[in-house]
Amino acid sequence: MLTPFHLAVQVRDLAEARRFYGELLGCPEGRSSDTWVDFNLYGHQFVCHLNPALGDEGVGDHRNPVDGHGVPVPHFGVVLTMADWEALVDRLTGAGVRFEIEPYVRFKGEPGEQATMFFRDPSGNAIEFKAFRDIEGQLFAT
């Protein structure tokens, strides 16, 4: 059994984070205070901690080249089933989310072939959601 991870990120506004993670991404909210809020991110404990010093510019931007794209670093996300990934692409596209890297299939025909997309939350945290047709054989392919 895969155990859940815990990840905490900084956000500039908790109400904005609740709209993005709770309403747009559909993550149920858990415990919270005036300075943080827990979300259930596909079974994982994801926490947004308030840092109003981030301001409008949010967190920084660094990129590394992967498969012809500048991948934002750091980033986090979840590996979904292909059906869940496709449904999320539709929801994000319908909501007008601006993608850092548009949804596409990376490493096509190679070990580790995967559907992937990158976007940012309102505080600038980079997020990647990906999916494999054969997760058992491709997740850690070499």
Give the sheet arrangement for strand 44-50, strand by strand: 6-11, 44-50, 36-41, 29-32
CATH topology for 63-138 is 2,3-Dihydroxybiphenyl 1,2-Dioxygenase; domain 1 (3.10.180)
Helix (H) or strand (E) holding 33: none
Q: Which residues of 22-51 are buried (b: 16+ CB within 10 A; e: fewer)?
A: bebbebeeeeeeeebbbbbbbebebbbebb
Q: Give the CATH number of domain 6-52.
A: 3.10.180.10
Q: Do the domains 63-138 and 6-52 match in fold?
A: yes
Helix (H) or strand (E) holding 31: strand 29-32
pLDDT tens profile 3-32: 999 999 999 999 999 999 999 999 999 999
pLDDT tens profile 50-100: 998 887 777 777 889 888 889 988 999 999 999 999 999 999 999 999 999
CB 4 within 8 A of CB 39: no
- Quote the DSSP letter at residue 68: T
Q: What is the pTM of this model?
A: 0.90
Helix (H) or strand (E) holding 32: strand 29-32
Please report where in the chains the tokens 């548009």 appear, as a residue: 102
CA 48 to chain centre: 13
Q: What are the extents of the domains in the chain? A: 6-52, 63-138
Asked whether residue 122 carries a pLDDT value surpassing 90, the answer given is yes
